[in-house]
Every structure is written in C-alpha cells, then in structure tokens.
C-alpha cells in the first residue's frame, strides 16, 4: 500500500435501487448525472450500480495524476475495457505490464516526428480527394460526422497499409466498422452475457472477425516475403526490434497492434473534427480568425509538417474543441492494491472512472467553462493551470501514442476545410452527445459549407 496519509473519506452517493443502484441514471444520461454530482457531491464519490458492483467517479486532478502518473504502476485498466479487449486482442490500448512496455517500446519510433512528417502527404491526398464532397450541391446540408468518419478511416488505412488491394481494403474497412459498432454496443450493454445475444450487431461482428484476421495476417505475410512494399506503420512495426533481445513481433502481435491503431485512431479523430466544425459554425469570429491565419500561412497550399508550429491559432481552436468535447470522455482504472491518493484511500479492485469531460469543464480550472474560447490555450494561461486540468490524450506512460498523428491529421483537415469553405450552422436540429467508446454526436451534425469566393 502507498504511504501517503489518509485524511479524507470517499463519500457514498445516496439513493438508487437495491439491485440496480444508479444504473438507470447512467443509462439515461451518464454525462448529465456525473456533471450534477460533480457540483453537488464533489470531485470524488462512490455509487452503486448492478449489485454488488460499485463505481468511484473522479474529477480531482490530483487523483488523476496519482492514477496515471505518480503511482501508475499500482493501477491497471478496469473491467470496462473488456469489450475493447474482445475486439483488439492484446494490443497496446489494453495490454498490461512487461508485455505492454515491450510493445510500447517497439511501436514508439513509428510515431516520431520525422515519421509523421512523412505521412502528411498521404493525409493531404485523402483530404484533397474528399473535400469537394462538402460543397457539392450548392451548399446542401452535409453530416460532417459521416464525412469525417469516411476521411479518417481512409487516412488510417493508408497510414497502416499504404494502399492495400482495394478488395482487402473494403473487407478490412467493413470488418473494422462491424468491430467498432460491436464495441459501442457492448459499452451500452456491459453485462458479461450480452455478447451471447444473437442480435444483428453481434452476428455482424462475428461474421467479420475471422475474415479480418485472415486479411491482416495475409498483408503481414506478403510484406514479410517482400511481395509488397510501403513506408507505412505496418513496415515500421515489422522492422521494429527489441533493443535487448533483437526480436521483432510475431504475426499475432502485429495483427493486434494494427487493429488497435485502427480502432484507437479512427473514430476518436473523426469526432474531434466533427465537434470542431460545429463550434466553428457556431462561433463566426473564431472561424474568421482561423481563416485569416490559414490564408496567410498556407496561401492556398495544404498543411505541411512545418505548419504544426506556425498555425498557432488553429492549434488553439483544436485544443479548445477537445476541451469541450473530449473524444475520449472517460478513462477507467483499477488499483491492484490499496492506494492513497490526495488523502483518500482507494481500495484494491475499485473501478475508478476518471471523468475527463467533467475535468475539462470544472469551474476550479476554467472560467465560464461552457464558453468556447481558444485563447484559453495561450502559453501564459496554460502555465497558470493545473497540469491535469486538460488531458484529451490521457497522461503518464500510457499517454496516447498517436497524439501528434491525430493533431496533425486534424490540422490538415480543418485548415483545408476552413481555407476553402465558410461553415454555417443548419438551424432547428437537435445536437446531442452520445457517450459511447468515444463522445459521438448522436444524430450527426448538419452543416452547410459555402465555397469562399
């Protein structure tokens, strides 16, 4: 057990049924419920869900730091990651301990800045191919979320496999979609027996699971035997060698990592782009400021790696959009022994939900938290804030490995959109968040894209 002294007690939330506890409230509106509790109960509390299970919900940044950074070795991913594990095998997002560390070391070089610089061209070519779809049909309303899902899917496929044969490409994309839908369904139906339900989502996922494994293993074997070439993540992971043993990954490990990169990098980035476009449409002045910067810096060209630094305002817009709508809205961990964090004793085996959405709108860290204001990310203001008041990519050793990839992809996409179009809100639509694996816009987001003269 860690040695900090215990001087506070985690409050228990009153109410809820004997058997289901607060499970209904979580099903109905988990974000609204957690936000209300943050105001009325505090930054850490425990609640009952399906008997005998409990959850501890946290928005105390000192506890987040303890969980993700200072005492991270005493924590593992909680049982809530089971649906992801079912789909992703033992990839980086869900693996633990020495195996995770060795895989992380092998994968890290693939995400170094120079490697990313090399991927910018592929990103831009996908974006350029798809950008005209937004302005088709005299600025008819477009669901930006569907568009972004398509674009980010294509980008991640090219980053992983360069340009696989189009049949393989279609097969993988279809299977990945089935896997994603299944994971989201499992998040909504977290009971252990739910996966045995013979419904459409489960059947569709099962039907694709084996075929996608075979296609990816086929792509790996073709590459190993020199039949195909590519400067992509597949090649980088294939070439990676353990510094001590000189060993690389076997086919199974490679397949799990490639699937993980696809799943972790696709929907997250798509929802970030979608929410950001919505906020730009709702905030004309911010959109104009971003347009001025993009026009001046790019002069009609696409984003290249050097713009990572010079498109300063656009970066702040992206940061602020991910503050209000963090794609990974919650992280969940379990301590492997009793731990003490910021004076609270957290018992071994508890499931602690680090509620990122709440932390990002916490009035202790953010003035007028509901207001969209990119200037919050001025360097001086960042320095004044608690470090873990903002963590769209998590933190500590398990920080998102694709954070710079994602930021670059968002910058390329959003700068391209803003340079070409003025984004306008479509009135009378209900924008709703749906907290699944990521924070999805439930009914999509309809926007109009007017070609700039």
77 vs 376, which CB is nearer to ligand HEM? 77
Q: Measure the CA–CA gap between 324 and 213, rounded to whole angstroms.
A: 36
Q: How far is the CB of 344 from ligand HEM (least distance, A)?
A: 20
Out of 83, 265, 358, 444, the only residue in the binding site for ligand HEM (CB under 6 A) is 265
| CB of residue 270 to ligand HEM, shortest distance in Å | 9
Let me know: does 412 contact 127? Beta carbons within 8 Å. yes
Rounded Cα distance, 137 and 274, in Å: 20
As measured in angstroms, the least distance from the Cβ of 323 to ligand HEM is 11
- Is residue 342 at the binding interface for ligand HEM, with CB under 6 A as the rule? no
Q: How far is the CB of 404 from ligand HEM (least distance, A)?
A: 9
In whole angstroms, what is the distance from residue 306 CA to residue 449 CA?
A: 27
406 binds ligand HEM (CB under 6 A): yes
278 binds ligand HEM (CB under 6 A): no
Q: DSSP assignment of 302-341, as one string?
A: ---TTHHHH-HHHHHHHHHHHHHS-SS--EEEEESS-EEE
Should residue 400 be labelled a site residue for ligand HEM when binding is judged by CB under 6 A? yes
Q: Phi and psi for 363 in degrees, rounded to 5?
A: -65, -20
In angstroms, the CA 237 to CA 272 distance is: 26
> Which one of 394, 424, 431, 434 is in contact with ligand HEM (CB under 6 A)?
394
* CA dist., res. 235 & res. 365, Å (int): 43
- For 371-379, the CB contacts below 8 A with 24+ separation are 372/279, 372/282, 372/283, 372/286, 372/320, 372/321, 372/324, 373/320, 374/286, 374/289, 374/313, 374/316, 374/317, 374/319, 374/320, 375/316, 376/316, 376/320, 376/323, 377/315, 377/316, 377/319, 377/320, 378/316
Q: Are 339 and 2 in contact (CB under 8 A)?
A: yes
> Pick from 202, 215, 272, 298: which binds ligand HEM (CB under 6 A)?
272
- Identity of the residue, 298 or 328, whose beta carbon is nearer to ligand HEM in the bound complex: 328
Among positions 135, 164, 374, 402, the unique one binding ligand HEM when judged by CB under 6 A: 402
CB of 96 to ligand HEM, least distance (A): 9
Distance of closest approach, residue 9 Cβ to ligand HEM, in angstroms: 27
Q: Name which of 96 and 213 has its Cβ closer to ligand HEM.
A: 96
Measured distance CA(192)–CA(213) in Å, rounded: 24
Tokens of 437: 């694996």
Cβ proximity to ligand HEM, 152 vs 297, nearer residue:
152
At its nearest, how many Å lie between ligand HEM and the CB of residue 388?
12
- Confirm or reject binding of residue 33 to ligand HEM (CB under 6 A): no
Chosen residue from 83, 392, 441, 444 binding ligand HEM by CB under 6 A: 392
For the CB of residue 11, give the shortest distance to ligand HEM in the complex, in Å: 25
274 binds ligand HEM (CB under 6 A): no
437 touches 267 (CB < 8 A): yes
Give residue for tokens 């001087």. Answer: 7
Query: Taking CB under 6 A as the criterion, which residues in 64-93 touch ligand HEM?
Result: 77, 92-93
The residue from 134, 172, 264, 311 that contacts ligand HEM (CB under 6 A) is: 264
Only one of the segments 4-12, 39-47, 268-276, 289-297 lies at the binding site for ligand HEM (rule: CB under 6 A); that segment is 268-276
Residue 269 binds ligand HEM, judged by CB under 6 A? yes
**Tokens encoding 389:** 């008041």
For 235, how many CA atoms within 13 A lie in the half-sphere containing its CB? Answer: 14
Rule CB under 6 A: say whether 398 interacts with ligand HEM.
yes
Of residues 13 and 100, the one with the C-beta less far from ligand HEM = 100
- Residue 335 interacts with ligand HEM (CB under 6 A)? no
233 vs 281, beta carbon nearer ligand HEM: 233
Q: Are strands 352-354 and 54-58 parallel, antiparallel or unpaired?
A: parallel
| Residue 12 per-residue DSSP state | B
Least separation, in Å, of the C-beta of 396 and ligand HEM? 8
119 binds ligand HEM (CB under 6 A): no
Task: Pick out residues in 314-333 that bind ligand HEM (CB under 6 A).
Answer: 327-328, 331
- Alpha-carbon gap, residue 210 to 88, rounded angstroms: 13
Contact 425, 124 (CB under 8 A): no
**Choices 183-191, 294-302, 336-344, 402-410 (CB under 6 A): range interacting with ligand HEM:** 402-410
Beta-ladder partners of 76? 334
- Total residues interacting with ligand HEM, rule: CB under 6 A: 23
Beta strands in 328-389 (DSSP E): 331-335, 339-341, 344-346, 352-354
- Using CB under 6 A as the binding rule, whether residue 183 contacts ligand HEM is answered as no
Binding site for ligand HEM (CB under 6 A): 77, 92-93, 104, 260-261, 264-265, 268-269, 272, 327-328, 331, 392-394, 398, 400-402, 405-406
């Amino acid at each position: 057990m860690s040695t900090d002294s215990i001087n506070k007690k985690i409050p228990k939330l009153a109410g809820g049924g004997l058997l289901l506890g607060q499970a209904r409230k979580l099903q109905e509106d988990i974000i609204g419920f957690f936000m209300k509790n943050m105001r009325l109960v505090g930054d850490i509390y425990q609640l009952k869900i399906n008997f005998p299970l409990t959850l501890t919900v946290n928005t105390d940044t000192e506890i987040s730091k303890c969980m993700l950074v200072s005492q991270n070795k005493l924590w593992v991913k909680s049982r809530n990651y089971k649906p992801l594990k079912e789909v992703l095998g033992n990839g980086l997002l869900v693996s633990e301990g020495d195996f995770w560390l060795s895989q992380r070391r092998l994968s890290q070089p693939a995400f170094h800045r120079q490697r990313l610089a090399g991927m910018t061209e592929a990103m831009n070519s996908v974006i350029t191919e798809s950008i005209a779809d937004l302005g088709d049909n005299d600025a008819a309303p477009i669901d930006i979320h569907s568009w972004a899902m398509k674009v980010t899917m294509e980008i991640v496929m090219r980053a992983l496999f360069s340009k696989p044969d189009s049949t393989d490409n279609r097969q993988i994309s279809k299977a990945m979609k089935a896997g994603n839908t299944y994971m989201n369904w499992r998040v909504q139906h977290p009971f252990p027996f739910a996966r045995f339900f013979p419904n459409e989502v489960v059947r569709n996922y099962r039907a694709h699971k084996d075929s996608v494994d075979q296609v990816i293993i086929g792509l790996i074997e073709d590459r190993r035997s020199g039949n195909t070439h590519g400067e992509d993540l597949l090649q980088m992971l294939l070439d990676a060698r353990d510094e001590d043993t000189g060993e690389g990954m076997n086919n199974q490990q490679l397949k799990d990592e490639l699937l993980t990169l696809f799943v972790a990098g696709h929907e997250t980035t798509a929802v970030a782009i979608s929410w950001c476009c919505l906020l730009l449409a709702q905030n004309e002045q911010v959109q104009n400021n971003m347009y001025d910067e993009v026009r001046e810096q790019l002069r009609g060209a696409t984003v290249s790696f050097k713009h990572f630094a010079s498109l300063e305002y656009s970066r702040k817009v992206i940061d602020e959009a991910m503050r209000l709508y963090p794609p990974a809205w919650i992280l969940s961990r379990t301590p492997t022994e009793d731990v003490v964090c910021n004076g609270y004793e957290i018992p071994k085996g508890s499931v602690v939900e680090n509620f990122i959405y709440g932390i990002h709108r916490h009035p202790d860290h953010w003035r007028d938290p509901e207001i969209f204001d990119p200037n919050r990310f001025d360097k001086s203001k960042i320095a004044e804030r608690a470090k873990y008041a903002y963590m769209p990519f998590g933190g500590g050793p398990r920080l998102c490995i694709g954070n710079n990839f994602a930021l670059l992809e968002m910058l390329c996409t959003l700068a391209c959109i803003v340079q070409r179009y003025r984004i306008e809100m479509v009135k009378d639509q209900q924008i709703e968040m749906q907290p699944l694996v990521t924070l999805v816009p439930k009914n999509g987001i309809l926007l109009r894209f007017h070609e700039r003269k």
